[in-house]
Structure 1
Amino acid sequence: MALHQLLAPLLGLVAGSALRPVVVALAVPAGHPPSVTCPACSPLPPPAGGLQALRLLPPDGRCPACRTPLGAAWLPEVTTAAAFAAVAVGGAAGWYAAAQYWLALLGSALLLIDSAVQRLPNALTLPAAIGTLTLLTVAAAHHEHGSLVRALAAAAAAGVLFTLLALGGMGMGDTKLAVSLSALLGWHSWQAAFLGLVVSFLLAAAVAAYLLVARCGTRKSTLAFGPFLIIGTLAAALITST
């Protein structure tokens, strides 16, 4: 195993620790302000600047002052470490690898937030899109293997598709996320972009069917789609990297 494949999960643990307060702050229902203070020992409204009040939180998920649980122990750290490990196994290099790690980082937070409150906040989806397209543009400027035109075309196609799906009830957050993920896979190939969507929808359908059979949900139950998009993208990137 290459050295970078060993280091990637460790860097993911560190990155996940830094990401934890962002997940805690943004894992609130739509329309609510970021939760930047502990509700037990600092039940004050968030300051005007919002996220700038965030502080590092320990991996045990408890408030450092009063030990009130603020999140699951080690979940952001382990999730980000797993995402970084998947990127490293894929073997990408250069600025394209940087784009993958960027989406692995923000995608880990989005996966956890969407799973908790079925919301993909603009505070993460917009930086994900801007950062990904910027890094892919730099990769193209350095003549790395791939196609920026194809990446932009795949992003546009995904945007149109998910906008149409949003008319049927799917959230616009999924549209913004799909643009970033499809651009990343489209840089590699059309097959990768298509496979990412297919795997995402198949995973979502399988989980929905299981919930119905297990009677943990009904036909009217809603299911966060963001996690399936992220997992499907990682799976497609790994499959098409070989």
Structure 2
Amino acid sequence: MTFALVVVGVLGLAVGSFLNVVIHRVPRGESLLRPPSHCPQCTSPIRPWHNVPVLGWLLLRGRCADCAAPISARYPLVELGTAALFVAVAARFGLSASLPAWLYLAAIAVALALIDLDALRLPNAIVLPSYLVAPLLLLPAVVVERDWGAGLRGLLAMAVLWTFYLVLSLVYPGGMGFGDVKLAGVLGLYLGWLGWSSVAVGTLVAFAIGGVAGLALLVTGRAGRRTALPFGPAMLAGALVALFAAAPITSWYTSLLLPA
């Protein structure tokens, strides 16, 4: 299993490198393939050995090889963060039939969270295809594990969360965008697959994180009451918390309601 985790970690580094391109280009409507990776300042193409995840940035000491323009440290951090998340997901689910689906969720979570923070958008180019990709990646697990109940529960939770967020967006349009509604359906599919407790934990934690972050920005003066704040990162963080800790959180909360 250790060797498998190393392989998944290396895969995460490579995916993280690609996600840097996605995060930069998708909000701008640019092609992911053309032109090849280049310095945004001098447009010089990045040499293949400088494009190696993390090591390339270290080799360049965070500067372009041609014009010496600084290269943000976020690039290697995205690569390392994606690799760490891939390893955590692989450790959680093992070499199961559903692992590719969870790795896909981890990848789009990184991309969507950072794009929403940068541009206050959850691009359709990433969210909408996930309504097809995620079920297709989960289907082998349904067949291999013969867990049709998980598949049906996931589809039902997808509809429930989508409807719940849609109602919120209609009641409070200033605080919830339709991009959040579309993302809710995808997260509902995954959380519903795990169980209804995961749906509840993921949703509640998302609103808790969003509320705390919003309050902190208000208190520090970095946002006002009318400032638009991204909610996608909180939704994705809530889903990841549920992914790894729904059971202990549910047990703790139940113990508060029903003390021994």
Bin of the TM-score, shorter chain as denominator length: 0.7 to 0.9
Which residue of 117, 120, 132 corresponds with 2:119? 117
Amino acid at match of 2:156: A
Q: Tell me the equivalent position of 1:14.
A: 14
- Contact 1:212–1:219 (CA<8 Å) still a contact in 2? yes
- Contact 2:209–2:234 (CA<8 Å) still a contact in 1? yes
Aligned sequence identity (%): 35
Q: Tell me the CA shift for residue 216 of structure 1.
A: 1.6
**1:40-51 maps to which residues of 2 (within 5 A)?**
40-41=41-42
Q: Tell me the CA shift for residue 163 of structure 1.
A: 1.5
Residues 66-117 of structure 1: per-residue CA shift (max 9 Å, x gap):
5655753313212312321331232354232211111111221111111111
Residues 140-171 of structure 1: per-residue CA shift (max 9 Å, x gap):
12235461110000000111111122222322
Other structure's SS at 1:147 match: helix
The more displaced of 194-203 and 125-134 is: 125-134
Amino acid at match of 2:158: A
Provide the rounded CA distance (Å) in 2 between the counterparts of 1:23 and 1:15: 12
Provide the rounded CA distance (Å) in 2 between the counterparts of 1:39 and 1:10: 26
Q: 1:140 to 1:115 in 2, by over 3 A?
A: same
Question: Tell me, which stretches of 5 or more residues in structure 2 are unaligned?
Answer: 249-260
Amino acid at match of 1:204: G
Amino acid at match of 2:227: S
Residues 8-46 of structure 1: per-residue CA shift (max 9 Å, x gap):
333211110122211110244xxxx3276665445xxxx
Q: Tell me the equivalent position of 2:25.
A: 25
How many aligned positions are there? 228
**1:1-242 maps to which residues of 2 (within 5 A)?**
2-28=2-28, 33-34=29-30, 40-41=41-42, 58=51, 60=57, 66=67, 68=69, 72-145=74-147, 147-167=150-170, 168-169=173-174, 170-240=176-246
Amino acid at match of 1:17: S
Amino acid at match of 1:166: S
Q: 1:138 to 1:241 in 2, by over 3 A?
A: farther
Please give the TM-score of this superposition, normalised by the length of structure 1. 0.81
Q: Tell me the CA shift for residue 64 of structure 1.
A: 6.9
By percentage of residues, which structure has more helix?
A: 2
Amino acid at match of 1:102: Y
Q: 1:62 to 1:212 in 2, by over 3 A?
A: same
RMSD value over aligned CA atoms?
2.9
Q: 1:188 to 1:201 in 2, by over 3 A?
A: same
Provide the rounded CA distance (Å) in 2 between the counterparts of 1:144 and 1:75: 39
- Contact 1:106–1:124 (CA<8 Å) still a contact in 2? yes
Other structure's SS at 1:120 match: coil
Q: Tell me the equivalent position of 1:46.
A: none
Provide the rounded CA distance (Å) in 2 between the counterparts of 1:94 and 1:241: 20
Provide the rounded CA distance (Å) in 2 between the counterparts of 1:93 and 1:196: 24
The more displaced of 210-219 and 62-71 is: 62-71
| Greater relative CO, 1 or 2 (CA 8 Å, sep 6+) | 1
- Contact 1:91–1:241 (CA<8 Å) still a contact in 2? no
Please give the TM-score of this superposition, normalised by the length of structure 2. 0.76
Q: Tell me the equivalent position of 2:253.
A: none
Q: 1:144 to 1:109 in 2, by over 3 A?
A: farther
